[in-house]
Structure 1
Amino acid sequence: MLRWLIAILILANLLAFAAVSGLFGPTPASGNRETTHLSRQIHPERLRVRAILPSESADMPTVGGPVAQPAVQASALTQ
């Protein structure tokens, strides 16, 4: 019984080695599968770095200071 198990495991390993080495054709990971990702990448030359304006940093908390009121507008719901 153990001899058959060892023989099956050896055959399975040989089959896996043959598949990885390219006997059945190229592996799916070896080629370009999704070429659309290359066309959607961000081009670093188009990015611009700028300093944050004080008006944009108003929501940044100050440690130990008072909590700023959130800029939320609310209105009553009509039924």
Structure 2
Amino acid sequence: MLRWLIAILILANLVAFAAIRGVFGPTPASGSRDSLPLNRQIHPERLTVRPIAASESVDVPVVGGPVAEPAVQASALTQ
């Protein structure tokens, strides 16, 4: 029983070693093959900060204010 466990562990180590060496293809850490995500990155120098107008702050909750009741209707279940 123990011999089989040791044999399986050695085989798993050999497969892991082969995968690290690139037998099954390039590893994800070897570099990006697709440049599209690099082109879609946000550049911080292009971002601007502006204050929120009163008309835009409808969904912003007031911290420390009372919690509004949810708009959910409840009824008794029938059997």
Q: TM-score, normalised by structure 2?
A: 0.53
SS at match of 1:6: helix
For the structure 1 residues 47 and 3, does the alpha-carbon distance in structure 2 shift closer, same or farther, using more than 3 Å as the test?
same
| Displacement after TM superposition at 1:38 (Å) | 0.8
Aligned residue pairs, count: 63
Unaligned runs of 5+ in 1: 68-79
Alignment identity in percent? 67
Unaligned runs of 5+ in 2: 69-79
Offset from partner CA, 1:38-60 (integer Å, 9 cap, x none) = 10112111111011222322x14
Largest Rg, 1 or 2: 1
TM-score for both structures, normalised by structure 1? 0.53
Per-residue deviation at 1:23? Answer: 5.1
Q: Which residue of 2 aligns with 1:10?
A: 10
4+ residue runs of structure 1 moved beyond 4 angstroms? Answer: none
Counting only pairs closer than 5 Å after superposition, residues 1-79 of structure 1 correspond to structure 2 as 2-20=2-20, 22=21, 24=23, 26-57=26-57, 59=58, 60-61=60-61, 63=65
State how far apart, in whole Å, the 1-side matches of 2:13 and 2:38 are: 36
**RMSD (CA atoms):** 2.8
